[in-house]
């Protein structure tokens, strides 16, 4: 039933939304493609799993996972972005990739390479709407993802902190001249991005009831694809891109088979880039005046 496939695609896309928004924050505001984000996604699921196994309440386990991801993101900001920002663009990118490898190997040493069963935190219930069946964990993931993005959008557009962050995205030098403390705001962007990523990892674990040291890699690639598809720098474009990627993936599995999922997902990305290089909601690059 195609309607059920569409519902499943939206639920999967909710996870991609949070990762895509995380990439959008760092590249849209700081012009920095943070390749540690897949590792932070993994940390969200893995740290919450370890804390739950240690006997902590689920709320404390999730808070601990988010806190751990924020600490790592601040280390990336201090040791990768800040130290190498003035050098070639490839240097901070490669150094952030080093954090991804470090996080994956720390998880590998801690829990091993096998997939671990994540305990179900959401009651096992199904919401039935006509012939559609929506799982409890799926519904929680979609509502949580959209609520988080809406809340962040309000912060960026309605608060003084958000206006200062957007001023950095427009022009860092002008923001400094206007007296904005860029050195204080940049870690806030990294922390916000890490929180979104870690929560995405937790929601992924809730949906699939499993975690592994390399769970972030495939999702990370899909998150980058969603960000580009929606339009780099556009938060709601990242939302649309994430949901569209989720729909494409589920429909591909349902009607074409699992072997062609990556072909259809990245083929869609290529088609959009050919027809609309700035993405669905991105702005075309401004032409220089002669």
pLDDT digits (tens, 9 = 90+) for 27-84: 888 888 888 999 999 999 999 999 999 999 999 999 999 999 999 999 999 888 887 7
Buried b (16+ CB within 10 A) or exposed e, 125-144: eeeeeeeeebbbbbbbbbeb
pLDDT digits (tens, 9 = 90+) for 203-247: 999 888 899 999 998 898 899 999 999 888 788 888 899 999 999
| pLDDT: which is higher, 178 or 276 | 276
Percent of the chain with pLDDT over 90: 32
In this predicted structure, what is the pLDDT of residue 143? 86
pLDDT over threshold 50, residue 290:
no
| pLDDT: which is higher, 284 or 92 | 92
- For every residue of 57-103, DSSP letters joined together read -HHHHHHHHHHHHHHHHHHHIIIIIHHHTTS-THHHHHHHHHHHHHH
What pLDDT band is residue 96 in, cutting at 50, 70 and 90? confident
In this predicted structure, what is the pLDDT of residue 289? 37
pLDDT digits (tens, 9 = 90+) for 173-208: 887 887 888 788 889 889 999 998 999 999 999 888
pLDDT over threshold 60, residue 107:
yes
Compute the distance between CA of residue 192 and CA of residue 168 in angstroms, rounded to an integer.
Answer: 15
Q: Which domains does the chain have, with CATH numbers?
A: 2-112+138-275 (1.10.3470)
């Amino acid at each position: 039933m195609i309607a059920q496939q569409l519902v499943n695609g939206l639920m999967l896309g909710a996870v991609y939304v949070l990762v895509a928004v995380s990439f959008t924050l760092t590249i849209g505001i700081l012009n920095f493609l943070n390749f540690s984000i897949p590792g932070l996604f993994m940390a969200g699921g893995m740290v919450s799993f370890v804390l739950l196994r240690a006997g902590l309440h689920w709320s404390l386990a999730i808070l601990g996972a988010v806190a751990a991801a924020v600490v790592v993101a601040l280390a990336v900001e201090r040791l990768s972005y800040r130290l190498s920002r003035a050098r070639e663009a490839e240097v901070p990118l490669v150094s952030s990739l080093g954090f991804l490898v470090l996080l994956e190997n720390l998880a590998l040493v801690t829990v091993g390479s096998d997939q671990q069963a994540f305990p179900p935190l959401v009651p096992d219930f199904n919401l039935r709407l006509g012939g559609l069946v929506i799982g409890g964990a799926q519904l929680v993931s979609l509502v949580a993802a959209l609520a988080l993005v809406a809340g962040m959008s309000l912060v960026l557009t309605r608060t003084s902190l958000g206006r200062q962050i957007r001023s950095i995205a427009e022009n860092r030098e002008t923001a400094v001249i206007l007296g904005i403390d860029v050195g204080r705001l940049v870690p806030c962007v990294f922390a916000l991005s890490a929180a979104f990523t870690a929560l995405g990892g937790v929601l992924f674990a809730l949906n699939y009831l499993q975690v592994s040291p390399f769970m972030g890699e495939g999702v990370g690639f899909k998150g980058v694809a969603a960000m580009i598809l929606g339009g780099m720098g556009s938060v709601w474009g990242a939302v649309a891109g994430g949901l569209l990627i989720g729909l494409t993936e589920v429909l591909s599995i349902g009607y074409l088979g699992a072997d062609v999922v990556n072909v259809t997902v990245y083929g869609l990305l290529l088609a959009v880039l050919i027809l609309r290089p700035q993405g669905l909601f991105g702005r075309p690059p401004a032409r220089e005046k002669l």
